[in-house]
């Protein structure tokens, strides 16, 4: 009996052992079969997914830390077609909350393109609208029977950042804008597009949580700090808008720069655009140069150029402040008659009188005495005909004809001396005049104060572009310009502050002839004369209240200069000199 | 030997005992492996959730920063100041006082310090290495040591 049980046990053990062996063999065979390799390959395809991490675009601040361009969340709203329960409920909700056409939404859900499981209904949807839809989805889900799906099942929300400009149109010409594709246009946004956008990082992300997610380090785009003073910018824009009304000008530009280092403090232009509604660009501007005329619209500046001619004459030794000449009201240059603005003779004048009365004949006399080589050499050194290198996108170079050019005539030596036949942008003229206010050194205008990346700030140093005149010439000319303003009782004077400056009234060339009824009124000035801390340029296009820069641009200069000294905490000269003496 | 001959079950009990010991050892290893891998999976899931949470917080922070900038914009602040009865200052109204030793300070760092980014170097291997990988690594290290 015991033998019989023993035999049965042995047989059972052998069978069980055989089965176990068969299982092991089969497992081993399957594991090492060609099919297994294919399956392993297929599994590995899903073990990782290639994901692109886009950094947040860097922010833009003014010099005092006010945010000028930031990012805000918006939503993409879509539908997962695999789990949609009630397309009509989705279409109704989306059409009510987002304002989309009901038929369009229902069509997108019910008649999708082949082979897609997700359809985007709307993008860049405001947070509030998206949140209301999300709340409605939750509400319908909670009201559904237990285990059943809510009416908005399948409606999906994905948030992503969008560029936002809290100051709306303030400084729009400086900042530029970013399209929905993420590309920067104009101003800082275009010039520093690559820096602001940062570098997207592609990484293989394991889908298996066992393989702990190794987060790739994605640095956000570089944050930029501008030299712009927001409050001064706001004041400049307000004063400019009021000036256009007061003087009936078509458009205008006000630029405030620190002549010691080229930092732009404000740059106001018209028209401006609300950067949060950049799609209105086409209805506001006719061409790209209108976006920021201060850097991209060259024009004949007129008499403001006389300070540069005088600087060249003084520096080259052609004249000194006390040099006199007899003004007969006209001079012949290159066979053409050049006259003063009033076509009258002014008798014996010294160089300060030339500037004070803005005498064309005096300037033409100086340029012809210097000779073309010297005169155009200085103009070239001042930067005429060259880009300033300002760090804003879209700068135009202007034009300075020189001997040898096919369209240069001998008379140009005379007319160029008082700003006719030469074109430049406001920023070019400021750069050209900067050595007069900065002890002979030319500054490169710039809008970037610092870059902040990965917690570190990199300050942008001032760049100098040569010394076209000596320190002595600069200080002498500044003094002459201050005296000329004071002697004529200019409307540009600011009580308590000594200002140097020059008006410009340039007739506008129309079909090859100058229209005496339409002018560009300009003023360039800086102060305090003994320690210049601001340089201001005013340009009013076609003012109708008066054609003269002395009656339109000069008072605008005084107004913005008064605001500048308050906002920059510049005490009146007497107090400042007392403070320095202490 | 005599005792084993008269009581063969003693040998059988040794075999059964050895088999049971092996089974218990295997069960312990399996339990340990399950525990470690489940902990790794939980840690991995937590990392994923924290990453999403950091991302969401950063978006919320950016939103709030933009909202704050909008409600303190130049236009809004001017309107609020005028509504409160303030007016722009004129040039002659400012009073200047000399403060010995004082100089205007320009801010050095205008942005907040960045968040710490988790990177491969900051995640210890205990959180991203399975037991088998750990054993593999040990074997490879010892093999390298032998060579």
| Stretch A110-120: mean pLDDT | 81
The larger pLDDT score, comparing residue B121 to residue A393, is at A393
Which of A19-28, A198-207, B51-60 holds the top average pLDDT?
A19-28
| Stretch B7-31: mean pLDDT | 87
As a CATH number, domain A230-581 is 3.40.710.10
CA distance B90 to chain A (A): 8
Instruction: Name the residue among B62, B110, B123 with its Cβ closest to that of A457.
Output: B110
Nearest CA in chain B to A71: B62
CB-based contact A477:A436 (threshold 8 Å): yes
As a CATH number, domain A72-166 is 3.30.70.2110
Handedness of CA A75, A76, A80, A86 (dihedral sign): positive
Chain Cα centroid distance, residue A271: 15
Q: Which of residues 178-217 of A touch B (CB under 8 A)?
A: 208-217
| Stretch A14-24: mean pLDDT | 93
CB-based contact A388:A443 (threshold 8 Å): no
- Provide long-range contacts, Cβ within 8 A and 24+ apart, for A353-357: A353/A484, A354/A306, A354/A310, A355/A306, A355/A307, A355/A310, A355/A480, A355/A481, A355/A484, A355/A502, A356/A483, A356/A484, A356/A485, A356/A487, A356/A488, A357/A488
Q: How far is CA A355 from CA A102, A153, A500, A576, B123, in A?
A: 71, 78, 11, 28, 72
Give A159's contacts in chain B (Cβ within 8 Å): 59
Q: Write out the two tokens for A372.
A: 């073309």
| Prediction ipTM score | 0.78
Render pLDDT for A359-388 as a digit per residue (tens, 0 to 9): 999 999 999 999 999 999 999 999 999 999
| Stretch A60-78: mean pLDDT | 92
Q: Which pLDDT belongs to residue B119?
A: 47
Render pLDDT for A397-420 as a digit per residue (tens, 0 to 9): 888 999 989 889 999 999 999 999
Where does chain A hold its CATH 3.30.70.2110 domain(s)? 72-166
Nearest CA in chain A to B76: A167
Nearest CA in chain B to A223: B111
pTM: 0.82
For chain B, the average pLDDT equals: 79
Under 8 Å CB pairs connecting chains A and B tally to 125
- Per-residue pLDDT band for B116 (boundaries 50, 70, 90) equals very low
Give A212's contacts in chain B (Cβ within 8 Å): 40, 43-44, 47, 123, 127-128
Q: Write out the two tokens for A446.
A: 């710039």
Q: Which of residues 65-94 of B touch A (CB under 8 A)?
A: 65-70, 72-75, 78, 89-92, 94
Q: Is the pLDDT of residue A117 over 70?
A: yes
Determine the 3-state secondary structure of B48 from DSSP: helix
Cβ separation A166–B70 shorter than 8 A: yes
Q: Which of B59, B70, B74 to mutate to test the interface with A (most CBs of A within 10 A)?
A: B74
CB-based contact A445:A219 (threshold 8 Å): no
Question: b/e string for B99-122 if b means 16 or more Cβ within 10 A?
Answer: eeeeeeeeeeebbeeeeeebeeee
Where does chain A hold its CATH 3.40.710.10 domain(s)? 230-581
Query: B3 — contact with chain A (CB < 8 Å)?
Result: no
Q: Write out the two tokens for B2.
A: 């005599």
Determine the 3-state secondary structure of A273 from DSSP: coil
Give A233's contacts in chain B (Cβ within 8 Å): 74
Cβ separation A164–B130 shorter than 8 A: no
């Amino acid at each position: 009996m015991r033998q019989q049980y023993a035999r049965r046990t042995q047989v059972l053990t052998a069978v069980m052992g055989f089965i176990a062996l068969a299982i092991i063999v089969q497992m081993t065979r399957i594991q090492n079969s060609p099919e297994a390799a294919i399956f392993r390959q297929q599994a590995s395809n899903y073990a990782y997914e290639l994901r692109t991490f886009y950094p947040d675009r860097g922010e833009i601040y003014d010099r005092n830390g006010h945010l000028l361009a930031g990012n805000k969340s918006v939503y993409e709203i879509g539908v997962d077609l695999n789990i949609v329960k009630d397309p009509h409920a989705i279409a109704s909700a989306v059409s009510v909350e987002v304002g989309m056409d009901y038929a369009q939404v229902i069509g997108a859900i019910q008649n999708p393109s082949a082979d897609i499981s997700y359809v985007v209904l709307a993008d860049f949807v405001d947070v509030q609208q998206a949140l209301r839809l999300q709340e409605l989805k939750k509400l319908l889900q909670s009201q559904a029977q237990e285990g059943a799906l809510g009416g908005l099942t399948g409606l999906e929300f994905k948030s992503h950042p969008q560029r936002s400009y809290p100051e709306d149109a303030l400084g729009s010409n400086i900042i530029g804008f970013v399209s929905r594709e993420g590309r920067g246009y104009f101003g800082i946004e275009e010039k520093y597009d690559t820096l602001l956008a940062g570098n997207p990082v592609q990484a293989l992300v394991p889908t298996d949580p066992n393989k702990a997610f190794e987060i790739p380090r994605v640095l956000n785009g570089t944050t930029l700090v501008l030299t712009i003073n927001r409050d001064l910018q706001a004041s400049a824009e307000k004063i400019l808008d009021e000036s256009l009304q007061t003087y009936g000008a078509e458009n205008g530009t006000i630029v405030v720069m620190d002549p010691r280092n080229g930092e732009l403090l404000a740059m106001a232009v018209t028209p401006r655009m609300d950067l949060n509604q950049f799609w209105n660009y086409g209805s506001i501007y006719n061409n790209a140069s209108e976006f920021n005329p201060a850097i991209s619209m060259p024009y004949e500046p007129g008499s403001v150029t006389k300070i540069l001619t005088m600087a060249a004459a003084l520096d080259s030794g052609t004249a000194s402040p006390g040099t006199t000449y007899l003004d007969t009201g006209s001079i012949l240059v290159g066979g053409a008659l050049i006259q003063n603005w009033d076509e009258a003779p002014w008798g014996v004048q010294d160089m300060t009188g030339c500037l004070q009365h803005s005498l064309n004949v005096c300037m033409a006399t100086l340029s012809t005495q210097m000779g073309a080589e010297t005169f155009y050499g200085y103009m070239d050194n001042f930067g005429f005909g060259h880009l300033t290198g300002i760090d804003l996108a879209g700068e135009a170079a202007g034009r300075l004809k020189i001997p040898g050019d096919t369209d240069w005539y001998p008379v140009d030596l005379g007319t160029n001396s008082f700003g006719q036949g030469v074109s430049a942008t406001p920023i070019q003229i400021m750069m050209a005049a900067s050595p007069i206010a900065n002890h002979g050194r030319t500054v490169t205008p710039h809008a970037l104060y610092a870059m902040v990346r990965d917690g570190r700030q990199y300050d942008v140093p001032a760049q100098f572009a040569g010394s076209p005149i000596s320190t002595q010439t600069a200080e002498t000319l500044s003094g002459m310009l201050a005296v000329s303003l004071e002697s004529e009782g200019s409307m540009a004077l600011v009580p308590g502050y000594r200002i140097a400056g020059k008006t410009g009234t340039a007739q506008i060339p129309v079909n090859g002839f100058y229209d005496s009824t339409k002018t560009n009124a300009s003023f360039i000035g800086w102060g305090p004369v003994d320690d210049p801390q601001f340089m201001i340029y005013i340009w009013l296009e076609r003012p109708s209240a008066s054609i003269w820069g002395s009656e339109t641009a000069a008072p605008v200069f005084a107004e913005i200069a008064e605001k500048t000294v308050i906002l920059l905490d510049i005490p009146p000269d007497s107090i400042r000199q007392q403070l320095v003496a202490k | 030997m005599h005792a084993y001959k008269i009581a063969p079950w003693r040998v059988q009990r040794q075999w059964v005992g050895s088999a049971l010991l092996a089974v218990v050892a295997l069960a312990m290893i399996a339990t340990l492996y399950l525990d470690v891998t489940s902990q790794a999976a939980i840690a991995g899931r937590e990392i994923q959730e924290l990453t999403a949470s950091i991302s969401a917080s950063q978006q919320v922070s950016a939103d709030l920063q933009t909202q704050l900038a909008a409600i303190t914009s130049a236009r809004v602040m001017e309107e609020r100041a005028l509504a409160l009865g303030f007016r722009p200052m004129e040039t002659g109204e400012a009073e200047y006082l000399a403060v010995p030793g004082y100089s205007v300070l320009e801010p050095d760092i205008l942005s907040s310090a960045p968040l710490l980014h988790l990177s491969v170097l900051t995640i210890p291997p205990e959180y991203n290495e399975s037991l088998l990988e750990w054993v593999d690594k040990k074997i490879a290290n010892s093999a390298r040591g032998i060579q």
